[in-house]
Structure 1
Amino acid sequence: MSLLSVKDFTVSLRNRDVLRDVSFEIGTGEFVGLIGPNGAGKTTLMRAALGLLPFTGSSNLATLSENARARQAAWMPQAREIAWPVTVETVVMLGRTPYLSSIQNPADHDRKAVDDALDWMELTEFRHRDATQLSGGEQARVLIARALAQETPLLVADEPIAGLDPAHQISTMQTFAALARTGKSSLVSLHDLGLAARHCTRLIMLGNKGLVADGKPADVLTDRRLAEIFGVTAWFQDTDKGFVFQPLEVLQ
């Protein structure tokens, strides 16, 4: 089953092509890392695929109504700051909005979804705290929890581990990997190639206004592509603790 299908996808902003002729599909049970240098179009691709930016080509999600789309894909943008002086629990409950009318109170299954999301992100003890009083990293975890509470087949997240400390970066990546094992999928833009290589089941690399590579991390992160697209060298090895990847030097 295809949760996201984009075909011949071209996006232009301010009369300039950002992406040209990109095609790929995401099925069930995948943790897909979207990688590429700054300006490669990662955010643009995700926003356009969700119908938030104009494009040419096709996206199965962009054709859905807003409510139907919100039941198929949860979206977590880069913006992290929470502006509302409400509790963490209230923010996470917003993830249940696609399932509730304006006059409908949350049911037991809605509250369970929130409880589970808070537990996933190690936020249970924060549930009654004012979300605006949390640190930036803690607010980021709250917003990931809100997306998890939406309980969609697909989660689309733009740099969700940016600003998190190493322990919470790893635990968040483990959360996405665990979701994949339950049959749900995630498309996550990442700058940390080491974490992407270690935790993602698949990588999509963008560069030169298009799709450069799509496949298993060890197949995508080749010396040639790292040099051409990122301008770096790296050390990587498949170990008994999994695939380990470390960028080393900038090429001159």
Structure 2
Amino acid sequence: MTLLSLSDLSVTLRNRPVFSGLSLEIAEREVVGLIGPNGAGKTSLMRAALGLIPAQGQSSLATLTPEQRAKAAAWMPQAREIAWPVKVEDLVALGRLPHGDRASAPVEAAIAKMGLGPLRKRRATNLSGGEQARALIARALSQETPLLMADEPTAGLDPAHQIATMEVFRDLAAEGRGVLLSLHDIGLAARHCTRLVMLAEGQLLADGSPEEVLTDALLARGFGITAYHAQTPDGPVFQPMGRAR
């Protein structure tokens, strides 16, 4: 089942073309990593897909009403400001607003998945940056939407919580949901995403499995880097090594 369909999508911001002619589909049971250099348009793509910024072309989510969209896709933006000193458990429960309830089971499941049990009674504004990120991911999880979209969800997390968070996303996909993430850590993307989409040069440069996208040629063209990659008994290892010559 297709959860997001983009057709010939183009975005121009401040009179500067960001990308053009982009077509993409996200299906259930996928963890799609959106990768690319700074300024390639990863955030703009997700915001345009949600109808949050002007765009040309078609997005299946942008055509929905706000109420319908809130039940179809959960969104975690890159900015993680928590304005009010609410308890962590109350912040997570805000994910239930589109459903008009405070059902406890999804909230408790989200708190457990993100390891927030010991923090649930603390004021969210008193948490560290990484803890706040985990609380906001939990809020998105409690929304229980078919599609979860997150912009740099692992930024600011320590390595253990980065891995745990990516494992949560893989579990969501295994349950039949879909996940679209923008990521700068290509090593995490290679290990945990079922599919990668590379944005560069104002276009969708590559779309496929991590093995198909993280080739020497595409890494040099899209990021200007060389990298070491290998298959191990514990899964793929990917490490940027230097700038491409």
TM-score (norm 1): 0.96
CA distance in 2, matches of 1:160, 1:64: 25
Match of 1:43 in 2: 43
Q: Secondary structure at the match of 1:227?
A: helix
The Cα of 1:251 is off from its aligned counterpart by 2.5
Match of 2:138 in 1: 145
Task: Tell me if structure 2 keeps the 8 A contact 1:116–1:149.
Answer: yes
The Cα of 1:12 is off from its aligned counterpart by 0.7
Q: CA RMSD in A?
A: 0.8
The Cα of 1:176 is off from its aligned counterpart by 0.4
Q: Which aligned pairs between 1:150-229 and structure 2 lie closer than 5 A?
A: 150-229=143-222
1:5-40 deviation per Cα after TM superposition (whole angstroms, max 9, x unaligned): 000000111111101000010111000000000000
Q: Which aligned pairs between 1:126-145 and structure 2 lie closer than 5 A?
A: 126-145=119-138
The percentage of aligned residue pairs carrying the same residue is 61
1:206-241 deviation per Cα after TM superposition (whole angstroms, max 9, x unaligned): 000010000000100010111111111001112221
More displaced, 146-155 or 233-242? 233-242
Q: Secondary structure at the match of 1:228?
A: helix
Match of 1:118 in 2: 111
For 2:243, give the aligned amino acid: V
Match of 2:225 in 1: 232
Task: Tell me if structure 2 keeps the 8 A contact 1:81–1:136.
Answer: no
The Cα of 1:93 is off from its aligned counterpart by 0.6
The Cα of 1:177 is off from its aligned counterpart by 0.7
1:246 counterpart = 2:233: no
Q: Secondary structure at the match of 2:44?
A: helix
CA distance in 2, matches of 1:54, 1:80: 23
Q: Which aligned pairs between 1:22-101 and structure 2 lie closer than 5 A?
A: 22-100=22-100
Structure 1 unaligned spans of 5+: none
For 1:3, give the aligned amino acid: L
TM-score (norm 2): 0.98
1:114-141 deviation per Cα after TM superposition (whole angstroms, max 9, x unaligned): 0000000000121111111110100000
CA distance in 2, matches of 1:238, 1:56: 41
For 2:64, give the aligned amino acid: L
CA distance in 2, matches of 1:251, 1:245: 16
Match of 2:4 in 1: 4
Q: Secondary structure at the match of 1:169?
A: helix
CA distance in 2, matches of 1:2, 1:238: 31
Structure 2 unaligned spans of 5+: none
Q: How many residues align?
A: 245
Q: Secondary structure at the match of 1:246?
A: strand
CA distance in 1, matches of 2:80, 2:153: 9
CA distance in 2, matches of 1:95, 1:225: 38
